[in-house]
Amino acid sequence: MSLSIEQVQRIAALARIELAAGDAEATRDKLNGIFGLIEQMQAVDTSGVEPMSHPQDVAQRLRTDVATEPDRRDEFQRIAPQTQAGLYLVPKVLE
């Protein structure tokens, strides 16, 4: 798959990125290179390969789940401008 200059400019517009006319060609070449690498990776036969979450067989060291900070919820609720039923009330942003 290769992109045209018009497609690169449309992608830039959708991403709200200002792209100069001279930069469009360089960006197209870079994107086409990325798509070429993706095509190469998709061509590799991965049947029989088990997915893994990490390239090395490591275990994560876990600590005990203990609260380290005191519960100051009531103090914060008292100084908040508006609360109701333990929740902070804020102005409506979206309609």
- In the prediction, which pLDDT does 56 show? 85
- In the prediction, which pLDDT does 51 show? 87
By residue range, what is the domain housing residue 28?
5-42
- In the prediction, which pLDDT does 58 show? 82
Count of Cβ atoms closer than 10 Å to residue 20 Cβ = 9
Name the domain count of the chain: 1
CATH of residue 37: 1.10.20
Please give the model's pTM, rounded to 2 decimal places.
0.51
**Cβ–Cβ under 8 Å, residues 24 and 40:** no
pLDDT band per the 50, 70, 90 thresholds, residue 18: very high
- CA atoms of 65 and 39, how far apart (whole Å): 44
The backbone torsions φ and ψ at residue 7, rounded to the nearest 5 degrees and listed phi first, read -65, -40
In the chain, how long is the greatest CA-to-CA distance? Answer: 61
Residue 29, both tokens: 């070449």
Residue 44, both tokens: 């590799």
- In the prediction, which pLDDT does 54 show? 80
Interval 31-53: pLDDT, tens: 999 999 999 999 999 999 888 88
- 23 domain residue, yes or no: yes
